[in-house]
Amino acid sequence: MIISNPKGTQDFLPLQSGQKHLVETRFRETVGLYGFSEIVTPTFEHTELFLRSTGLTTDIITKQIYQFIDKGGRDITLRPEGTPGIVRAVLQYNLKLPVRMFYIGPMFRYERPQKGRYREFYQLGVEAVGEIGPDIDVEIIEIGSRFFTGLGLKDVITKVNSVGCAVCRPKHRTELGLFLERNKAKICDDCKGRAERNPMRIFDCKEATCQELYINAPKIVDYLCFDCQQHFQSVLNELVERKIPFELNKMMVRGLDYYTRTAFEFVSSSSELGAQDSLGGGGRYDNLVEDFGGPKTPAIGFALGLERIMLALGTPRPIRKAVYIIPLDPSIQKQGKELLRLLRNANIPALLNNPDKNLRAGLGIADNLACEYVIIIGSEEVKKQIYTVKNLVKRTQKQVPQNQIIEVLTNKENQS
């Protein structure tokens, strides 16, 4: 019996891994423009880290974490998100602030697998720790907007909200609690639990009946204190000034307890995503460093779902780069090997056809391997000191002098 991959995981086959690399490369280039440097943290941490940050009332902690006791008796959790590990690293190594960091890596949540949602999934994220004021909020949103535009995703819009602070929330919690008590019979069982532990989490519910009911529920943005109002209005004004498309969504609170003030989500209208239209999001977490034992420190970041971005991009096309060399006779194999070394030394990806494969088979292999060119070497080519070069993208063929082959292959704009 053939063993398959575990439920909720996926294999990135060569075509998909090429697209994955393209997305990651574009992300690195974009965040680099804004002065972000890469940080790599462990894929598992002490469970306490996530209990103190992600929140005891979130679905991530109550339903989704991969938690286990290791052989040393330590309580360990595979990371369900990236931010807590980065904040831990900032404090552990006493990094000088402000600091801008980005990360790319796998995360783990035990949830029902569906299109674009896995139990092992990849996130692209940024964290700006130690910067205060609305301008950094807008800059973080702008990074996401620029990144998606650079990928060719022009249908992405940012939904924004403010989730207030410790000053705003008590009054809102009281009013929301009264609303939920009046409508207790209409809400789902999960929301009944949320109403007792953390009422604002009810806005995370995906049940249609609950979502319809909560349209009339008290929203935190309507209860903001003066400072939060000023901060949020400045964010909205700057988004308009920078011509970054956005929508105000009063029901968006994000799924993490540590957010304060600005929260946002990147949403795509791509038909490939269906109901799972979110590509990621983030917000401020001005209390998290302090919650971990550090000084009060402003911070903001976002995380994007790599798999959903790839879905929005559509079916990937092969990236053709390599050259496939086909000697037409075993006696010419030596010339083929010499050309193979020449191309690779010139940093041109190249492969050599096996002597037991004829021209037709070799062309099939080259196409299957998504090669860009095929170079054919026959007795006539050896005699005339030329190569027959087939362009598999343009479906053209021409003869090239042997001493010009590198120049021709590296100056593609001059090729027919």
Q: What is the pLDDT of residue 55?
A: 62
Q: What is the total residue count of the chain?
A: 416
Q: What is the pLDDT of residue 330?
A: 87
DSSP-derived letter for residue 393 is T
Q: Are 203 and 253 in contact (CB under 8 A)?
A: yes
Single-letter amino acid, residue 44: F
Question: In the Cβ-directed half-sphere of 64, how many Cα atoms lie within 13 Å?
Answer: 25
Q: What is the pLDDT of residue 273?
A: 65
pLDDT of 413 strictly over 50: no
pLDDT (tens digit per residue) in 54-103: 665 566 676 788 999 999 999 999 999 999 999 999 999 999 999 999 99
Would you tell me which CATH number, out of the four given (3.20.20.70, 3.10.28.10, 3.40.50.300, 3.40.50.800), belongs to the domain 323-414?
Answer: 3.40.50.800
Single-letter amino acid, residue 132: I
Q: What is the pLDDT of residue 59?
A: 65
CA distance 237 to 40: 35
More confident call, 260 vs 193: 260
More confident call, 136 vs 276: 136
**Average pLDDT of the segment spanning 384-410:** 93
Residues of the chain with CATH 3.30.930.10: 14-168+224-313
Assess if CATH 3.60.10.10 describes domain 14-168+224-313: no
Name residue 263's beta-bridge partners.
Answer: 161, 283
Single-letter amino acid, residue 141: I
Given pLDDT bands bounded at 50, 70 and 90, which one contains residue 317?
A: confident
pLDDT (tens digit per residue) in 38-56: 999 999 999 999 888 766 5
Question: In the Cβ-directed half-sphere of 267, how many Cα atoms lie within 13 Å?
Answer: 18
Cα–chain-centroid distance for residue 83?
A: 14
**CB-based burial label for 4 (10 Å; 0-12, 13-18, 19+):** exposed
**What is the residue-wise DSSP string for 244-278?**
--EEE-TT---S-TT-EEEEEEEEE--TTTTT--E
Token duo for residue 312: 């929005």
Q: What is the pLDDT of residue 187?
A: 85
* Angstrom distances, CA of residue 308 to CA of 9, 144, 272, 285, 288: 14, 14, 9, 24, 27
* Angstrom distances, CA of residue 356 to CA of 188, 323, 366, 390: 67, 19, 15, 21
Given pLDDT bands bounded at 50, 70 and 90, which one contains residue 416?
A: very low
Question: Does 98 sit behind a cis peptide bond, omega within 30 degrees of 0 on the bond before it?
Answer: yes
| Edge-to-edge order in the sheet of strand 44-46 | 44-46, 75-78, 66-69
Instruction: Kindly give the pairing relationship between strand 99-108 and strand 299-305.
Output: unpaired
**Average pLDDT of the segment spanning 135-162:** 94
Q: What is the pLDDT of residue 305?
A: 95
pLDDT (tens digit per residue) in 224-279: 999 999 999 999 999 999 999 999 999 887 766 788 999 999 998 765 666 668 89
Across 87-101, 115-129, 196-210, 352-366, least confident range: 196-210
Q: What is the pLDDT of residue 269?
A: 78
pTM of the model: 0.86
CA distance 256 to 203: 12
Residues of the chain with CATH 3.40.50.800: 323-414
Q: What is the pLDDT of residue 117?
A: 85
Q: What is the pLDDT of residue 62?
A: 67
Q: Are 227 and 236 in contact (CB under 8 A)?
A: no
Which distant-in-sequence residues (6+ apart) come within 8 Å of 347 by Cβ? none
Given pLDDT bands bounded at 50, 70 and 90, which one contains residue 21?
A: very high
